[in-house]
Amino acid sequence: MNEIKQPEFKEMILTRTLNAPRDLVWKAWTDPNMVSQWWGPHGFTAPLCQLDLRPGGEILIHMKDPDGGINPMNGTYKEIVALEKIVFSSYIAFEMDGKKPAAEIQITILFADKGSQTELQVRALPIKVDPELYPAVEGMEEGWTQTLDKLTAIFA
| C-alpha 29: how far from chain center | 10
- Give the three-class secondary structure for 147: helix
Q: For strand 58-64 and strand 70-81, is the pairing parallel, antiparallel, or unpaired?
A: antiparallel
pTM, to two decimals: 0.89
Domain residue extents for the chain: 12-154
- Cα dist. 2→5, 45, 55, 135 in Å? 9, 40, 38, 20
Q: Which amino acid is at 29?
A: W
Judge whether residue 93 has pLDDT over 90. Answer: no
Write the pLDDT tens digit of every residue in 7-44.
Answer: 677 899 999 999 999 999 999 999 999 999 999 999 99
Report which DSSP code applies to 132. G
Q: What is the mean pLDDT of residues 47-55?
A: 97
Class of the CATH-defined domain 12-154: alpha beta
Write the pLDDT tens digit of every residue in 122-132.
Answer: 999 998 888 77
